Chains A and B, each alone.
Chain A
Amino acid sequence: MAEASAPAIATRQPRFVILRWLKLRPGAAHALPVIAFLLIGFAAPLAWVIMFSFMPERSFSLLNEPTLDNYVTIFSGTTYRSFLWSLGLAAVTVILLALICYPIAYGLTRVFGRWSTLLTLLFTIPLFVSENVRLYGWILFFIKNGVMLGTLKSLFGYEGETWLFTEGMIVLGMVYVYMPFMLFPMTLGVSMVPNETRDAAFDLGASRWQVFKEVDLPLAMPGIVIGFLLSFVLAVGALVEAKVLGGQRVIPIVHEIELAFTYAQNWPLGAALAVLLMLVVGTLVMLVLRRFDLDTILGRR
Chain B
Amino acid sequence: MDCTQEGPVSRGMNTRTPVIELRQITKSFGSFTAVHTIDLVIGEGEFFTIVGPSGSGKTTVLRMLAGLETPTSGDILLRGKRINDVPANRRPTCMVFQSLALFPHRTVGENIEFPLKIRDVSKADRKARALQLMEQLRLPADYYGKNVTKCSGGERQRVALARALAYNPDILFFDEPLSAIDYKLRKTLEKELKDIHRETGKTFIYITHSLEEAMVMSDRIGVMRQGRLVQVGTPNEIYTAPNSKFVSEFIGDVNIIPVAINGTGKLHSAELGAEFTSPPIPAGFRSGHLVVRPESIRIVERSDSAENRLSGRLYNEYALGSRIQYQVRVGEQVFIVERLRQQAFQGGIDSEVQIGWNARDSILVGD
Contacts and interface: CB of A to CB of B under 8 A. Distances in A.
B98 interface: yes
Contacts of B114: 201, 204, 206, 214
Interface of A: 194, 196-197, 199-207, 210, 214-215, 218-219, 296-301
Contacts of B97: 196, 199-200
A203 B105 contact: no
B103 A197 contact: yes
Contact of A194 (B94, B101, B167): B101
A52 B149 CA distance: 50
B165 to A, nearest CB: 11
A206 B101 CA distance: 14
Interface centre among A200, A219, A301 (most CB of B within 10 A): A200
6 closest A-B pairs (Cβ-Cβ)? A200-B101, A299-B104, A299-B149, A196-B101, A204-B115, A203-B88
Contacts of B105: 218-219, 296-299
Interface string B77-105: 00000000001111001110111011111
Contacts of B67: 203
A200 B149 contact: no
B207 interface: no
Contacts of B328: none
Given A204-B167, A205-B119, A299-B147, 7 more contacts: A194-B101, A199-B88, A203-B68, A203-B93, A204-B89, A204-B115, A205-B89
Contacts of A296: 105
15 contacts: A194-B101, A197-B99, A197-B104, A199-B88, A200-B102, A201-B103, A201-B114, A202-B89, A203-B88, A204-B167, A210-B118, A296-B105, A299-B105, A299-B147, A299-B148
Nearest to A211: B89
Interface centre among A199, A203, A207 (most CB of B within 10 A): A203
Interface of B: 66-68, 87-90, 93-95, 97-99, 101-105, 114-115, 118-119, 147-149, 163-164, 167
A205 B149 CA distance: 23
Contacts of B118: 204-206, 210
B159 to A, nearest CB: 12
Given A204-B94, A204-B115, A194 B89 contact: no
B104 A219 contact: yes
Interface centre among B88, B90, B149 (most CB of A within 10 A): B88
Given A196-B99, A204-B115, A298 B104 contact: yes
Contact of A202 (B88, B99, B103): B88
A299 B156 CA distance: 14
Contacts of B103: 197, 201, 214-215
A205 B147 contact: no
Contacts of B164: 204
Contact of B115 (A205, A207, A219): A205
A202 B164 CA distance: 12
Contacts of A218: 105
A300 B114 CA distance: 21
B174 to A, nearest CB: 13
A206 to B, nearest CB: 5
A218 B104 CA distance: 10
B163 A204 contact: yes
Contacts of A205: 89-90, 115, 118-119, 167
